[in-house]
Amino acid sequence: MTALLPHKSSSNNNLIAKPRLLVFIVAYNAEASIASVLSRIPYSLTHNYDVEILIIDDSSRDNTFEVAESIRKTENFAFPLHVLYNPDNQGYGGNQKIGYHFAVTK
């Protein structure tokens, strides 16, 4: 799920209008796969968009949140990475609403 919003970015000291692209990942018990999912987001997106990644852990029973947070804190990730934890399982639809809210208020 992605949300596009207008956003201005500075590139090479010139102001270039680029749309903002939020790549939104709803994760549930994804401890073993979250790093692989993130690694498949193409860096080439930055040519046309200001890219940010949002992961919402939907009250996983494994260490999804901890793994995603570790990636955010320790790896030199190509995009700004935000990791949220939902303490109550909201299902896909509930997390979509959270993602949309994040996209329009950020």
pLDDT of the residue at 8? 46
Q: Nearest Cα to 52, choosing from 66, 35, 38?
A: 38
pLDDT of the residue at 4? 41
Q: Please report the DSSP string for 22-80 in residue order.
A: EEEEEESS-TTTHHHHHHTS-GGGGGT-EEEEEEEE-S-SSSHHHHHHHHHHHS--SS-
**Does residue 17 belong to any structural domain of this protein?**
no
The domain that holds 29 is classified in CATH as 3.90.550.10
User: CA-to-CA distance for 94 and 76, rounded, in angstroms?
Assistant: 30
What is the domain range of residue 32? Answer: 2-7+22-105
**Does residue 16 belong to any structural domain of this protein?**
no
Number of domains in the chain: 1
pLDDT along the chain (106 residues), means of 10: 44 71 97 97 95 97 98 90 96 95 91
**Does residue 13 belong to any structural domain of this protein?**
no
Sign of CA dihedral 9, 1, 75, 61: positive
User: CA-to-CA distance for 28 and 63, rounded, in angstroms?
Assistant: 10
**Does residue 14 belong to any structural domain of this protein?**
no
**Does residue 91 belong to any structural domain of this protein?**
yes
